[in-house]
Amino acid sequence: MAVSELRGAAAIVGVADLVSPTGELEGSLRALEVRAIREALDDAGLTIADVDGLACATSAGWAPSMELGEYLGISPRWSDSTITGGSSFEIHVEHAAAAIAAGLCDVAVVVYAANPRSSFKRGGSGYTSRQALPGLTAAAEWELAYAMRMPMGAYALAASRHMYEFGTTSEQLAQIAVDTRRWAALNPRARLQENITIDDVLSSPVQASPLHKLDCCLVTDGAGAVVLTSAERARTLANAPIYVLGTGTCHTHSMISEMPDLTVTGAAVSGPLAFAAAGLSPSEIDVAQIYDSFTITVMLLLEDLGFCAKGEGGEFVSEGVLAPGGSLPTNTTGGGLAYTHPGMFGIFLLVEAVRQLRGECGPRQVAGAEVALAHGSGGVLSAMSTVIMGTEATL
């Protein structure tokens, strides 16, 4: 099946996310997964009996979708346990849309849950910046031995290189955090809702130079789920379908020391693939949800996805284009910097993109949004996946 044939063949029909302004949620990982699935299916007007495809990247267990399927009492005929960090769920949507178009399944659920904040308070190991990211075992031998803080140290390297090559400033990075917080101030579910200034960002403690605390994402509990089905079936359900128009994926390295170019990510491949499949260009995106593990992540991805030229990200963001009222409304929940970030933020990008296209976002709604981009980043700028969605299946 040609990529062009996949455009609009599948649609997202249900979404849910579980977050709290406290940053904590009650319940086990499994309970959070089940609750997110139930809410997303209710949103779609479907039941667990309709589900014959399952994708899961929860870090517990070696085969997440298999273990979750057993718990749910279902026997999916399509399953995906791909884990690439924060981009896992965009990849799951890409895979699920292709599977649906090929007739491998009819209704697919993508789900994620993590509770690092509350589990640490209950005596769990939590997360420290001196440990390797899950799956990046080589980093423990070759990078952490040299006091590399993870993951902020990896992103600090990218930020330093971008500053060196292109003259990017800490003030320009801080503008991203300021604009993101303006969206969070409109979202009563966000963890951090107070507006901040560039001076606030620059006066917050340095975590890994040149990145300050307010350049870095949160650590919270959270869960989310997305339900997909065929375009034909989607048109019979309660919600207006949000069609998957184009997707693309690329991973370039595992350890940050092996990144081919610290200023260029795999989004330079995944973005053009997604735009080509969708038959669209960056100028036609009404609202963007771009992984914001750190402010430098957003800047690199804006460039690589084609919203501005390489090296011009600092100038591009400096006028508040990402903020409410800006020309490229971005991370309208408040993002990983202010809304929630349980470890893999990609599922929340998809949920918000769908809600924006449905017009369900209240004070933070982008007027007239018809085309949205959700871009996930996994590992240490390692694995990139882009999903373009729209309210119409055809050009």
Q: What is the DSSP string of 260-308?
A: S-TT--THHHHHHHHHHHHT--GGG-SEEEE--SBHHHHHHHHHHTTSS
Q: Identify the sign of the CA torsion 116, 217, 18, 197.
A: positive
Q: Is the pLDDT of residue 73 over 80?
A: yes
Place of tokens 């490229």: 328
- Position 63 scores a pLDDT of 83
Q: How many CA atoms lie within 13 A of 201 on its CB side?
A: 27
Chain-centroid distance, C-alpha 183: 16
What DSSP character marks residue 18? E
When pLDDT is cut at 50, 70 and 90, the band that residue 145 belongs to is low
- Fold classification of 3-121+217-390 (topology level): Peroxisomal Thiolase; Chain A, domain 1 (3.40.47)
- Position 61 scores a pLDDT of 62
Q: Is the pLDDT of residue 387 over 80?
A: yes
- Position 298 scores a pLDDT of 98
- Position 116 scores a pLDDT of 79
- Position 137 scores a pLDDT of 58
Whether the bond into 151 is cis, omega within 30 of 0: yes
Which residue spans within the chain are E strands per DSSP? 10-18, 53-56, 78-80, 107-114, 206-208, 211-212, 222-230, 242-251, 287-290, 371-378, 383-390
Would you say how long the chain is, in residues?
Answer: 395
- Region 364-387: what's the mean pLDDT? 97
Active site residue 164: no
Active site residue 146: no
26-44 as b/e: b if 16+ CB within 10 A: ebebbebbbbbbebbbebb
Please state whether beta strands 53-56 and 10-18 pair in parallel, antiparallel, or not at all (unpaired). Answer: unpaired
Identity of the amino acid at 255 = M
When pLDDT is cut at 50, 70 and 90, the band that residue 166 belongs to is very high
Q: Is the pLDDT of residue 219 over 60?
A: yes
Residues 298-327: pLDDT tens digits? 999 999 999 999 999 999 999 999 999 999
Q: How many CA atoms lie within 13 A of 295 on its CB side?
A: 36
CB 65 within 8 A of CB 89: no
Residues 2-20: pLDDT tens digits? 666 789 999 999 999 999 9
Please choose, from the candidates 266, 268, 304, the residue with its C-alpha nearest in 3D space to the C-alpha of residue 383: 266
What DSSP character marks residue 106? S
Please state whether beta strands 206-208 and 211-212 pair in parallel, antiparallel, or not at all (unpaired). Answer: antiparallel
- Region 26-46: what's the mean pLDDT? 96
- Position 121 scores a pLDDT of 62
State how far the Cα of 33 lies from the Cα of 58, in Å rounded to an integer. 9
State how far the Cα of 332 lies from the Cα of 190, in Å rounded to an integer. 11
When pLDDT is cut at 50, 70 and 90, the band that residue 395 belongs to is low
Percent of the residues in the chain that have a pLDDT greater than 70, as a whole number:
91
Residues 100-144: pLDDT tens digits? 999 999 999 999 999 977 865 665 555 555 444 555 555 666 666
Which token pair is 33?
Answer: 């997964």
- Position 40 scores a pLDDT of 98
- Position 101 scores a pLDDT of 96
CB 327 within 8 A of CB 308: no
Identity of the amino acid at 104 = L
- Position 126 scores a pLDDT of 53
What mean pLDDT is reported for the chain?
93
What DSSP character marks residue 375? E
**Hey, where are the domains in the chain?**
3-121+217-390
Which token pair is 66?
Answer: 């298999």
- Position 192 scores a pLDDT of 97
- Position 130 scores a pLDDT of 46
Q: Is the pLDDT of residue 336 over 90?
A: yes
Which element (helix H / strand E) includes 104? Answer: none
What DSSP character marks residue 241? P
Identity of the amino acid at 132 = A
